Amino acid sequence: MTLDSELEAWRREWRDRTEPFPMLKRKIRRQNLRTAAAVAAIVVCVAVSIIGAVRTGNAFLAGLATGIGFAGVVQGGYGWWARRGAWRPAAQTTLAYAELAYKRAVARARTTRFSFRFIVIVAAVTAGAVAWHWKRLTWPEGLLVAAMVLEGFLLNDIRQRAASGVEESRKLWEQTKQFADEGFSGER
């Protein structure tokens, strides 16, 4: 079999300069927008809870603002740590975008697992505090515990979907890697 070196050079150049799949680029762009929206939502929640606590002088709202602030810092710090290395693709290739999608899926699975465990602990501590002072229980406190339990169920569902997303992204990345390793020579 005769190898045409010029044809091989063109193949390598084309492979290096091809645009990533538009589907992957859109997915990464949507993830970036969701991350920005989540940060904005956390900032708004913290600001609203602090303003409400300061304006009313209510001890419950002050505790709620402190809890939201603490949870925002803990969750945000862990999310930032889990996403290290998953901010942007290493190159403008399909393989780099597939690898980025996989890294982000792993980070999402880690973050949702952490969030689920965090809300279970916070709900248990809050429920214990509410039960300790059950005679002075007001409807906002009961609603808060119920919301935390509901959030736990929601996070459990998201956690399970994130785990399946990791597997799906891993398969895509491996297939893309295999395709890039084999090249366009048709050898299999």
User: Residue 119 and residue 152: Cα distance in Å, rounded?
Assistant: 6
In terms of pLDDT, which residue wins out, 47 or 59? 47
Which two structure tokens, joined as six digits, stand for 2?
A: 């005769």
- pLDDT given for residue 186 in this prediction: 46
Using one digit for the tens of pLDDT, what is the confidence trace for 154-178? 999 999 999 999 999 999 888 888 8
Of 70, 7, 3, 9, the closest CA to residue 42 belongs to 70
Could you report the per-residue pLDDT of 71-106, keeping only the tens digit for each?
888 988 998 899 888 888 888 888 888 889 899 999
153-166 burial string, b = 16+ CB within 10 Å, else e? eebeebbeebeebb
Distance, in Å, from the CA atom of 172 to the CA atom of 152, rounded to the nearest integer, reads: 30
